[in-house]
Structure 1
Amino acid sequence: MDTFLLLLQGNPPETSVPWRHRAGGIVTAVLLLLGLALATSLLAVTLLYLRAQSKLEAVEEAVQKLQVSLQPDDASDASAKGSDTLQLLDEAQAGVQLLKAQLGNVSAAYGEIQIRLDNVSAARAAVQGRYSDVLTKLSRGWRFYSGNLYYFSQERKSWDEAEQFCVSQDSHLTSVSSQAEKEFLSNETKGQAHWIGLTDRETEGSWRWADGTEYRADASRGFWSENQPDNWDQGIGGREDCVHIHSINRNLWNDANCTQPFRWICKQAHGPAGL
């Protein structure tokens, strides 16, 4: 299966994909074992509850019989039975109350374990759903790198249309978190200009990533082409408020008019924030 997934990604065997799926299998197995352990605990508590319930019923029945036997036939009979027997009845009733309290504790433990078991089942389903989504995206040509999934389009759209497509795939136009990620993106674009998720359309000069991560100007200064961004007015309506990887200039960044059609890169992020 790992080899098949690698072929789908177009990456060599040394990529992180096999580790990712092994990790997913380990997490699923741990959740399964935890679920089995909780199910076993739930069964044990259930048996304890039933045993306590049975004991309580037996004690209550004995108390009822004692109460009946203590009903006096006449005044002399009541005096004969005396205070010692009445004290025994009080102790038996106290025992019943203690058993009821213990039964309540067992019932509370049962409910707590049931909640934990439900949580484990939900977590297991979430993990299975997540890795199912990863496998589905890989089979559709997405790339896997450093814990994130990337989609490199073949068609061209405006920046807004590209972002809409990414959102429809539970992702956003890509942010960039490191020099290594920047190089990965540059290698995968194969000499074609691609939109990334950086824009200053809301406030000129105030750049932000489409996925909501913080833009850090100092860390990303070396990623721009020379004299960029320049917000050049190309005379086609509006200025340059969206960023693409500039294939002509060593795959560095360039601001461009958001309406221009370029290929694009989506990122389903699970890693650190962008630059």
Structure 2
Amino acid sequence: MDTFLLLLQGNPPKTSVPWRPRAGGIVTAVLLLLSLALATSLLSVTLLYLRAQSKLQAVEEAVQKLQVSLQPDNASDASAKGSDSLQLLDEAQAGVWMLKTQLGNVSAAYGEIQNRLDISAARGAMQGRCCDVLTKLPGSWWFYGGNLYYFSKGKQSWDEAEKFCVSWNLHLISVSSQAEQEFLSKETKGEAHWIGLTDRGTEGSWRWVDGTEYRADTSRRFWAPNEPNNYDPKKDGGEDCVHTDPRIQNLWNDANCTLPFRWICKQAKAPAGL
């Protein structure tokens, strides 16, 4: 059970792992086992809820009877009942409060498990649909560091590449570390690939298209020597988009956004970047 939860939380693997559509059967089986486990937990919580509710009702009835019995008929009767009975009443009322608190906790747990069951069922259905579609896409899907990547086989302009990524609820890749830069360098197989870095709008003001913060100081090491240089800005609008250049160890180079290159899409687990 713990292993399955760790897998679903997206703990980053130490090495890149290719995502294959055939793995959908394994994922479906994992989701099915998780759903069964959650259903069992839901049944247990339901029984616990019913028992707590029954206990609460019994204690409340006892308190009501005790309160009636403690009503004094006269002054001497009140004295006879004494402080011990009053203490018993206080303890019983405290017990009612504790049971109500426990009942609230059980009710919250019930709701959380029900939500997990709903999410698990929806995720399983979505996984089944995605597996069939992804087999038809001309490219490679990879999991690395908890993120999902798509490496295209065809070539497009930067804008068309980003449009493709967005159609899959992704964006052109933003690079968050030296390890990620080395990963994409290895998987690009000697081909130039568009990444999600652009300075359109304000020359020299670079930004990641997925909204990740661009940090010029830590990104400097990923640029090729003398880049970016916005070569020949009067020709076709200059160079406002960035690709990896296999001729120089896949370091970054700014280029005209209309050029056709392969591209990399990314779905990040959390905002991060350089």
Provide the identity percentage.
46
Structure 1: stretches of 5+ with no match in the other structure: 1-13, 71-80
1:232 corresponds to? 231
2:104 corresponds to? 111
CA contact (8 A) 1:225 1:253 kept: yes
Within 2, Cα distance between the matches of 1:222 and 1:241? Answer: 19
TM-score (norm 2): 0.66
Based on CA coordinates, which of the two structures has the bigger radius of gyration?
Answer: 1
1:274 corresponds to? 273
Within 2, Cα distance between the matches of 1:86 and 1:245? Answer: 91
Cα deviation for residue 55 of structure 1 reads 5.0
Structure 2: stretches of 5+ with no match in the other structure: 1-14
Counterpart code for 1:205: G
Within 2, Cα distance between the matches of 1:239 and 1:175? Answer: 22
1:201 corresponds to? 200
| Inter-CA distance 248–60: structure 2 relative to 1 (3 Å threshold) | closer
Cα deviation for residue 143 of structure 1 reads 1.3
Cα deviation for residue 257 of structure 1 reads 1.9
CA contact (8 A) 2:170 2:267 kept: yes
Within 1, Cα distance between the matches of 2:75 and 2:269? Answer: 78
1:174 corresponds to? 173
| Inter-CA distance 152–66: structure 2 relative to 1 (3 Å threshold) | closer
Within 1, Cα distance between the matches of 2:252 and 2:206? Answer: 13
1:189 corresponds to? 188
Backbone CA RMSD of aligned residues: 4.5
CA contact (8 A) 2:171 2:209 kept: yes
CA contact (8 A) 1:199 1:210 kept: yes
Cα deviation for residue 271 of structure 1 reads 6.2
| Inter-CA distance 41–99: structure 2 relative to 1 (3 Å threshold) | farther
1:193-248 superposed Cα distances (whole Å, 9 cap, x missing partner):
22101111132212121222222333332322232111123655322111011244
Number of aligned residue pairs: 250
Q: 2:55 pairs with 51, 56, 64, which one? A: 51
| Inter-CA distance 57–31: structure 2 relative to 1 (3 Å threshold) | same
| Inter-CA distance 268–42: structure 2 relative to 1 (3 Å threshold) | same
Counterpart code for 1:209: W
Within 1, Cα distance between the matches of 2:52 and 2:41? Answer: 17
| Inter-CA distance 117–185: structure 2 relative to 1 (3 Å threshold) | same
CA contact (8 A) 2:35 2:121 kept: no
TM-score (norm 1): 0.66
Cα deviation for residue 255 of structure 1 reads 0.7
Counterpart code for 1:111: G
1:242 corresponds to? 241
CA contact (8 A) 2:173 2:196 kept: yes
Within 1, Cα distance between the matches of 2:66 and 2:213? Answer: 72
| Inter-CA distance 191–63: structure 2 relative to 1 (3 Å threshold) | closer
Within 2, Cα distance between the matches of 1:17 and 1:129? Answer: 24
Within 1, Cα distance between the matches of 2:200 and 2:259? Answer: 14
Moved more, 197-206 or 157-166: 157-166
SS in 1 for 2:240: strand
Within 2, Cα distance between the matches of 1:202 and 1:234? Answer: 14
CA contact (8 A) 2:161 2:263 kept: yes
